[in-house]
Each structure stands twice: as structure tokens, then as C-alpha cells.
């Protein structure tokens, strides 16, 4: 009697290679896209701060940025000195896998002195100054990008 040949056929090997290749390709695409997503959010934040600086300078208004881990919003200082949401700027929600981590040199305002969500952490003043800061964008708890400014220069983005 003749024994059956052991091993895999060429077709079976090719199917396995095809499946492994497809899975590797999809994983690579997901990682590239998420890096682009973080870059887009960083560019959006840098553009927003630049726009707020120009608006503050031209219209003699003081703005503030409220940055939470998963969202950020723009506040406007009213004539009575209180901060209120700036109606012309919408609150922005970050994608699920991105997080913000803010480091400021000086804590600007006492959070206990105002209702939750109405105290800015960054100021954009009408004299063209902003609060010195470093803001890290984390993706899946890993820092990937950093935005920072000394308060006088434009905001810079760096890859971590």
C-alpha cells in the first residue's frame, strides 16, 4: 500500500501567504492613518491658535482655550471679566484613540473660582501674547506629537 503524501499543497501555502499579507497590509494602513489623524489634529490646533491670535489682535478681545483630555473649546472674556463660550467657535471632540496632555508654566486661574468647563488653561491675549505651553498629543497612551510655544513665537509642532 502506498501512504498518502504528507505536507501542504502549493495552493494551501499560497492561500496562507495571501491571508497573512492582507492582514499585515490592513494593520499597516491603520497605523499610517492614525498617525495622519494625530497630525491633522495638531495642525487644526495650531491653526486655531493662530486664528485666535489674529482675531484677538484685530478685535481687541481676549480668548482662552479650555483643553480637556478628549476635547477642547474656545472661551471669550466678557466685559465683566468672566469667561464664556465663544459662539463663533465650536467645541471640538477628539477621535477616540487621541488624548491631549497640557503642560503650562504657570497655572492661570483657580478652577474653583468658576463653574466647570469655563476656566481656560491657555490665554490668547489682545496684545498678541499667548500663555507659554507644551501640549502633547497621545495616541493609544503613547505621545506622538508635541505643540509648544514660548508665548511670543508661533506654535510649533514636533514629532516625539
Q: Which CATH architecture has domain 34-159?
A: 3-Layer(bab) Sandwich (3.55)
Q: What are the grid coordinates assigned to 154, written together? A: 508661533
pTM over 0.85: no
Predicted confidence (pLDDT) at residue 3 exceeds the cutoff of 70: no
Backbone φ and ψ of 110, nearest 5°: -80, 115
> 133, 104 in Cβ contact below 8 A?
yes
The residue that leads in pLDDT, 106 or 13, is: 13
Predicted confidence (pLDDT) at residue 155 exceeds the cutoff of 70: yes
Alpha helices (H) along the chain? 10-59
pLDDT the model gives residue 109: 57
Distance CA 154, CA 47 (A): 10
User: How does pLDDT run across 109-149, given as a tens digit for each residue?
Assistant: 555 555 555 789 999 999 999 999 999 999 988 899 999 99
The domain limits of the chain are 34-159
Dihedral (C-alpha) 160, 29, 92, 68: value to the nearest 10 degrees? -40
pLDDT the model gives residue 104: 87
Amino acid at each position: 500500500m502506498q501512504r498518502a503524501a504528507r505536507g501542504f499543497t502549493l495552493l494551501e501555502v499560497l492561500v496562507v501567504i495571501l491571508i497573512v499579507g492582507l492582514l499585515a497590509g490592513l494593520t499597516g494602513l491603520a497605523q499610517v492613518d492614525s498617525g495622519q489623524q494625530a497630525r491633522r489634529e495638531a495642525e487644526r490646533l495650531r491653526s486655531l491658535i493662530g486664528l485666535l491670535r489674529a482675531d484677538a489682535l484685530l478685535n481687541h478681545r481676549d480668548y482662552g482655550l479650555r483643553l480637556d483630555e478628549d476635547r477642547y473649546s474656545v472661551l471669550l472674556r466678557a466685559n465683566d471679566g468672566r469667561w464664556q463660550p465663544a459662539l463663533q467657535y465650536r467645541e471640538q471632540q477628539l477621535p477616540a484613540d487621541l488624548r491631549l496632555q497640557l503642560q503650562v508654566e504657570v497655572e492661570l486661574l483657580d478652577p474653583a473660582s468658576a463653574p466647570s468647563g469655563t476656566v481656560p488653561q491657555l490665554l490668547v491675549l489682545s496684545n498678541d501674547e499667548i500663555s507659554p505651553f507644551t501640549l502633547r498629543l497621545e495616541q493609544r497612551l503613547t505621545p506622538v506629537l508635541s505643540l509648544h510655544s514660548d508665548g511670543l513665537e508661533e506654535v510649533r509642532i514636533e514629532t516625539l
